[in-house]
């Protein structure tokens, strides 16, 4: 058996998958325009993008803006100590989650690491329970039990945010196994950071996926850093090409360009669904904030690097410029989307603020599903001994 390991070229495309359902309100971004932005991207002409209606394009843009505004709002809540624990912001990476998740069909599934707010919004989760989760409220998407790193919504095929670096990757492979086992034409996307590629679990997952032809796309979101360690200081060789050792197809994608993310991911997802083949993609992106809000971000990169990136490669600004050039977006609509995203985020924060905390009784709920009732919990230490 010999599989080709090449930079994949988009395979035959039919119609584009519809973007996921819209949720709530919208928003936009107000960064200064980049100095040099190509108004059109080569991938814009790819069938999956060419087939997008004006509304669908605007919705993709809106979704990125909503993620950014949500996170900016959550940052403010964190700074005023409304949120505890860690807060890993996704700002700068929005085109990755939105691009990939916009391709999801009903049998496609997603799993990611602890930097999960973007994916949650990209799959269509409502921002109110997301914000409430950060506040530790019982109305949160995980009832206040998970926090920032542990968002879940199985009803949207979103199998969570996970806290152990690389640990979610075998799980993503398991999602693909279940899809194949059930004979469905779906695929799983397992997102990870560039630091996660060095975990043994990731390599074991690669091997299983390739050995058994599982429909999983391993998506490396390469933002250049794992905490304070740059890729050069943590990883030998190229990240994507490691797939070659497992006889898997691989691809490198420019993650600043939403159209490119969609065009290349669409090809691989189709192949996964149709032929049940795994692949590894490395999507080049960047995070603007520290590793977490608690990370002062001073020792490992300089401000100029971040500013240069924001100025020339911001995924939201780039997409907006393209949509304006395409005539799908107007300045007026840009402002409207942005205003709506801001008020949506404020509204989510108000909702979170007004919600109750879980009670001490809730601590022992959701431990065993079959025993999840008060009588069992006070039964003197059989199931829940304290």
Which residues of this protein are in contact with other proteins, per CB under 8 A? 84-86, 133, 136-138, 142, 144-147, 149-150, 162-167, 195-196, 198-201, 226-229, 233-235, 299-300, 357-360, 362-364, 367, 381, 384-386
180-209 positions binding ligand TPP, by CB under 6 A: 192-196
Binding to ligand TPP by residue 282, rule CB under 6 A?
no
Query: Closest Cα to residue 243, out of 192, 280, 202, 198?
Result: 280
CB of 110 to ligand TPP, least distance (A): 15
CA 377, CA 343: separation in Å to the nearest integer? 41
SS3 43: helix
Helix-strand-coil percent breakdown of the chain, rounded to 5? 45, 10, 45
DSSP code, position 240: G
Choose the one of other proteins, ligand TPP, none that binds residue 86, judging by a C-beta under 5 to 8 angstroms depending on kind: other proteins
Neighbouring C-beta atoms of residue 200, cutoff 10 Å: 8
Q: Which positions from 219 to 258 touch ligand TPP by CB under 6 A, shown as an x/- string? A: ----x-xxx-------------------------------
Q: Which is nearer to ligand TPP, 273 or 291 (CB)?
A: 291
In a 10 Å sphere around its CB, with 0-12 CB exposed, 13-18 middle and 19+ buried, how is residue 184 labelled? middle
> 223 contacts which partner out of other proteins, ligand TPP, none, CB within 5 to 8 A by kind?
ligand TPP
Distance separating alpha carbons of residues 16 and 367, to the nearest angstrom? 42
Interface with ligand TPP includes 162 (CB under 6 A)? no
Q: Which does 149 bind (CB under 5 to 8 A by kind): other proteins, ligand TPP, none?
A: other proteins
Q: In whole angstroms, what is the distance from residue 301 CA to residue 386 CA? A: 47
Strand-pair partners of 254: 284
Residue 309: which of ligand TPP, other proteins, none does it interact with, CB under 5 to 8 A by kind? Answer: none
Q: Which residues contact 126 (CB under 8 A, 6 or more apart)?
A: 23, 24
Q: Which entry of ligand TPP, other proteins, none binds 115, CB below 5 to 8 A by partner kind?
A: ligand TPP
10 Å CB burial of residue 52 (0-12, 13-18, 19+) is buried
Strand partners, 139: none
Q: Which is nearer to other proteins, 24 or 358 (CB)?
A: 358
The count of chain residues that interact with ligand TPP, using the rule CB under 6 A, is 14
Residue ranges binding ligand TPP (CB under 6 A): 115, 163-165, 192-196, 223, 225-227, 291
């Amino acid at each position: 058996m010999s599989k080709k390991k090449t930079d994949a070229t988009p395979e035959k495309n039919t119609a584009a998958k519809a973007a996921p359902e819209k949720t709530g309100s919208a928003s936009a971004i107000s960064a200064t325009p980049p100095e040099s932005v190509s108004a059109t991207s080569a991938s814009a002409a790819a069938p999956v993008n060419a087939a997008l209606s004006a509304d669908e394009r605007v919705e993709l843009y809106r979704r990125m803006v909503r993620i950014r505004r949500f996170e900016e709002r959550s940052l403010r809540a964190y700074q005023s100590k409304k949120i505890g624990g860690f807060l890993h912001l996704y700002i700068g990476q929005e085109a990755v989650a939105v691009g990939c998740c916009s391709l999801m069909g009903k049998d496609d599934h997603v799993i990611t690491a602890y930097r999960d707010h973007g994916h949650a919004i990209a799959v269509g989760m409502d921002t109110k329970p997301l914000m409430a989760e950060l506040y530790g409220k019982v109305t949160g998407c995980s009832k206040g039990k998970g926090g920032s790193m542990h968002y879940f919504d199985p009803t949207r095929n979103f199998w969570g945010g996970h806290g152990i670096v690389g640990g979610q990757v075998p799980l993503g492979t398991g999602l693909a196994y279940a899809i194949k086992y059930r004979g469905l034409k779906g695929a799983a996307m397992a997102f990870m950071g560039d630091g996660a590629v060095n975990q043994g679990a990731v390599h074991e997952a690669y091997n299983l996926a390739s050995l058994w032809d599982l429909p999983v796309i391993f998506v490396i979101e390469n933002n250049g850093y794992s905490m304070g360690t740059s890729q050069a200081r943590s990883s030998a060789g190229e990240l994507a090409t490691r797939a070659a050792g497992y006889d898997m197809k691989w691809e490198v994608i420019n993650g600043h360009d939403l159209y490119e993310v969609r065009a290349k991911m669409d090809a691989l997802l189709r192949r996964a669904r149709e032929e049940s083949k795994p692949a590894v993609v490395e999507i080049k992106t960047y995070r603007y904030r520290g590793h977490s809000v608690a990370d002062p971000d001073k020792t490992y990169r300089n401000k100029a690097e971040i500013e240069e990136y924001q100025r020339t490669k911001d995924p939201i600004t780039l997409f907006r410029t393209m949509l304006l050039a395409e005539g799908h977006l107007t300045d007026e609509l840009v402002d409207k989307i942005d205003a709506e995203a801001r008020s949506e985020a404020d509204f989510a924060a108000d909702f979170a603020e007004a919600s109750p905390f879980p009670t001490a009784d809730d601590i022992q709920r959701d431990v065993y599903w079959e025993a999840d009732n008060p009588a069992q919990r006070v039964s003197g230490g059989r199931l829940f001994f304290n």
